Each structure stands twice: as structure tokens, then as C-alpha cells.
Structure 1
Amino acid sequence: MGGRRQLPVPLAADKPPAEPLAEFDDFYRSSYSRLTSQLHAYLGDRAEAEDVAQEAFVRTWQRWSVVSEYEDPVSWVRRVAWNLATSRLRRVSAAARILRRYASAQVEPALDPDHVALVAALRKLPDRHRRAIVLHYLAGMPVAEVAADIGVPRGTVLSWLHRGRAQLAVHLGSEERRR
């Protein structure tokens, strides 16, 4: 018989049970905006931050039966998001190098000068210093929680915060002198 091919109808077993869906929905609602804000500070681009956060939550949903059993599922989704964000930064950096060779600079709409200066200064920091500063100062996480999240000793985070603040002071101070 000719005609349209019908797609299979999903079985009830293909749908996740309602309870994990509601549990994940609560988790998503309580965690999404905070994670997106952290990623925004790290990436410097709100749309990119939202894309990364959404991808991290999709991956979390795919493994929700395991992740939901973790002591701190937010830490797991944050780690996934940071890994995705770091990969994006690397790709963007490589693409920017190529574009600089072949394209003229495009003017972006003006942003708050303080925001622009902070994002520019954060981008000059090593990734580990930037991540520690964003998590501690912008996300409001205690040092111990940052250490646990990143998987390094507390003293290492304190060192990164100290070095990162010193570098930010230099970068932001030099911006002020130019004005």
C-alpha cells in the first residue's frame, strides 16, 4: 500500500514516571537561574550562558535516576555546565583568531562600562582563578563549597582567589587610569 509511513506511537513505558519528572522540575526551577548567572559571569554572554545551562540540564535529565541520588546534584550539573562552558570558550577563542584574520571588527551595542570592564578583566585571568572568583564572589558560594565543587583543596581555592583578586586589581586599575 502506498501512502504515508506512520511513526510508531510511544508506549507508556517510554514516558518517564510522573514522580521523577516532578522532582526534576523542582530541581530545575530552583537551580537554573543561579547556574545561568554564574555561567554568564564566566562566559560574559547571557545567551551563551543560557545555552550552556540548558545543555547541562538536558544531560542531567538523561541521567536523573543516578544524579538525583547524589548528595549534591547541583554540584554535578554545575560541573557539567563548567565543562561545556570551558569547551565553548576554547572554540570561541579559536574562531576569534580566525575571524580576526579575515573579518573587520563589528561594533556591538554599548553595555554598562563597569560590566564590560569586569568581564574583560575576568577574561584575562587563568580559567581556574576566574572560576573560583565567579563561584565565590558572584555566586556567593563559601570557599569550602567552591573547593568541593572544583575538586581541589580549600587552600588551593584561597590561593586562586588571592591571585585572581590581585590580577583583577591590576586589570581594573589600569582601566581606571586610561579614563
Structure 2
Amino acid sequence: MNRSGQGEDFLQAALVHADVVHALARRLAPHPQDAPDIVQETYLRGYAAWGRRRPDDVGAWLATICLNVGRDALRRHARHNTLLDDRPAPDLPSAVDTADAALERLGNDRIESALWTLPEVQRIAITLMDICGFTAAQVATITAAPRGTVLARVHRGRKTLALILTDERAEQRQPREVSDGP
């Protein structure tokens, strides 16, 4: 098969999984603006390998590549000492923002922030299962960990997330003391 036909086959099989790859990349990226680079590198590596061996489960195969690319990005980020502020730039409001969308984004931001407090293995297992929709067996293959270990990581991670989010809610409900002055 010529390279052009191979490219068409790859696109047809791989682009179906673009949402999964992007969701995983967002949770692996050291900065939100790095996620598209991780997605692009995932597809470049996948295309380069496509001619050597076609995977049975393209989604799991791409997730494995994305996981490796994301880990590479995290290692590069850890080595790179920068004097710049590492916080992501805030989203600029648009005319179509509504109160509901703002509240939903706030809730998602809290979950996203809480997810980043988990150990990497738990964050990856939860992302692959709960966000990307892979089964425990697929996650075991992707992460090269036994299925039972994957299930334990997801269970512990979910419990920790629940505690973090519950604690945040409790802190928000606490009445603040107001002083009447000195």
C-alpha cells in the first residue's frame, strides 16, 4: 500500500479517537496551552508507527502513545526552571458567556484542580477510565499495570477527590468572622 493510502487508513482509524486523546492530553499537560502539542505529537508518533504494525484497539494504542508523550512533557517541564509565572492565563469572557456556563466552568475548574493534587498514577487511571471511557482492562494495557492495580488506583483516587471536593464545600459554607475593629 502506498503512503497516501496508508495515511487515509490512519486518519480514518485514528481521528475517531480525537476527543479521547485531547481529554487525556489536557490532564497530562503541565500547562493548558501544552495540550494541543501533546495531541499533535501523539498523532505524529502514531502515524509514524502505523505502517509497522496496525493495532487491534486503536483508541487504547493512541492513549498509550499520548500517555508517553505527556510523561515526556512533564519531565521536560520539571527540568525547565523558569522565572516566568507558571499560572495559566485566565480565559477572557466572551459575549456568549452565561451564568450557567460560568458556574459549570467553575465546577470543572475545581475538579480539574483537585485532580492535579492526586498522585500521577491515580490521576492517569481516573482520566483514562472516567473521562476517556476506557475499561479497566484497557487501562491496564495502556499503563502496563495489572487490572487490580488500576482498579485500586481509581478507587483511591476517587475517594481522595471526593474528600477534597467535600472539604472545599465545607470551607465555603463556614461563616466568616467579622471583627468590629481594634
TM range (shorter): 0.7 to 0.9
Correspondent of 2:62 among 77, 82, 94: 77
Task: Provide the C-alpha distance between the structure 1 equivalents of 2:157 and 2:13, rounded to a whole number of angstroms.
Answer: 32
C-alpha deviation, 1:82, in angstroms = 0.8
Identity %: 25
TM-score by length of 1: 0.76
Name the aligned partner's letter for residue 59 of structure 1. Answer: R
Task: Provide the C-alpha distance between the structure 2 equivalents of 1:82 and 1:51, rounded to a whole number of angstroms.
Answer: 13
Task: Provide the C-alpha distance between the structure 2 equivalents of 1:71 and 1:54, rounded to a whole number of angstroms.
Answer: 22
Task: Provide the C-alpha distance between the structure 1 equivalents of 2:61 and 2:113, rounded to a whole number of angstroms.
Answer: 28
Q: Is 1:92 the equivalent of 2:77?
A: yes
Deviation string, structure 1 residues 131-166 (Cα, Å, up to 9, x no partner): 110111111112222112222221111110111011
Name the aligned partner's letter for residue 42 of structure 2. Answer: A
C-alpha deviation, 1:105, in angstroms = 7.5
C-alpha deviation, 1:71, in angstroms = 2.0
Q: Is 1:144 the equivalent of 2:137?
A: yes
TM-score by length of 2: 0.75
RMSD between superposed Cα atoms in Å:
2.5
Q: Which residue of 1 aligns with 2:90?
A: 109
Number of residue-to-residue matches in the alignment: 160
The answer (yes or no) to whether the contact 2:123–2:157 under 8 Å persists in 1 is yes
Task: Provide the C-alpha distance between the structure 2 equivalents of 1:115 and 1:149, rounded to a whole number of angstroms.
Answer: 26
Task: Provide the C-alpha distance between the structure 1 equivalents of 2:87 and 2:47, rounded to a whole number of angstroms.
Answer: 38
Task: Provide the C-alpha distance between the structure 1 equivalents of 2:171 and 2:75, rounded to a whole number of angstroms.
Answer: 29
The answer (yes or no) to whether the contact 1:60–1:67 under 8 Å persists in 2 is no
The answer (yes or no) to whether the contact 2:122–2:157 under 8 Å persists in 1 is yes
Q: Which residue of 1 aligns with 2:4?
A: 18
Q: Which residue of 2 aligns with 1:176?
A: 169
* Structure 1: gaps (5+ residues): 1-15
Task: Provide the C-alpha distance between the structure 2 equivalents of 1:71 and 1:34, rounded to a whole number of angstroms.
Answer: 17
* Structure 2: gaps (5+ residues): 92-101, 173-182
Higher relative contact order at CA 8 Å, sep ≥6: structure 1 or structure 2? 2
